Amino acid sequence: MQKIIVAVDGYSGCGKSTTAKAVANALHYTYIDTGAMYRAVTLYFHDHYIELNHKREVQRALDDINISFVYNEKLSRPETYLNGNNVEEEIRKMYISNNVSQVSALPEVRYALVAQQQKMGKRGGVVMDGRDIGTKVFPDAELKIFVTADINIRAQRRQQELLGKNQLVPFDEIVENLKMRDYIDSSRAESPLLKAVEAFELDTSYLSIDEQVEYVIHLATDKMLHKHRENSLLD
């Protein structure tokens, strides 16, 4: 079967990553969490006291950053590494969530990470989730999904997820964080969060994870068949 690129974009906490990860597993594709890359940069900037409005300092820091994903067989998930250290747990903490949108709005940061993402996905067979995958990173992706959900439901899910990691964060604080990130992510000058014209909209408010995954797999299978037929005609 022909390998395609599945671009999954949308707001924070809509179930993008959960869906994208499960779709990648089912299709035997590589899952790439681009949000984790922005979070890893945010952690590095935090630990090294990088001034966000100091362009040269930002660029020098970016040159020193190496982000990779290593599959953890025991937990059946890819984990994020920053300069050789596993930062998967750290980058999900609230102090990172509170700063990641400001960091990811910086053009220097976006140029560096978009280039790396394009390299990672260029051979296809990937499910990539983020904010600008279908519009900027892979505008020619065969399948684009735009995920949305009701803000209260998103906040409930995020609260449960944090509780699962023993982090008790008040509901209102989570709602505020989501709203702030939605605002910054959608209004930034450099590749803002936008629904690509040809993207399929997936509202997960009242769907189970299985239903979301099934929906995307169904569309992906269609696209793979389509690509296969097109290539057979060219042969």
Kindly state the smallest distance separating residue 99's Cβ from ligand DC, in Å: 10
C-alpha span between 56 and 142 (Å, rounded): 37
Q: Dig out the tokens for 207 from the structure.
A: 């769907």
Residue closer to ligand DC, measured from CB, 19 or 34? 34
Residue closer to ligand DC, measured from CB, 101 or 224? 101
In contact, 165 and 97? CB cutoff 8 Å: no
Kindly state the smallest distance separating residue 3's Cβ from ligand DC, in Å: 21
CB atoms closer than 10 angstroms to residue 120: 17
Q: By CB under 6 A, name the binding residues for ligand DC.
A: 12, 34-35, 38-39, 100-101, 104, 130-132, 181, 185
Question: What residues contact 135, with CB distance under 8 A and at least 6 apart?
Answer: 9, 191, 194, 196
Residue closer to ligand DC, measured from CB, 71 or 183? 183
Kindly state the smallest distance separating residue 227's Cβ from ligand DC, in Å: 24
Kindly state the smallest distance separating residue 131's Cβ from ligand DC, in Å: 4
User: Can you give the C-alpha Rg of the chain in angstroms?
Assistant: 18
Residue closer to ligand DC, measured from CB, 50 or 221? 50
C-alpha span between 149 and 206 (Å, rounded): 8
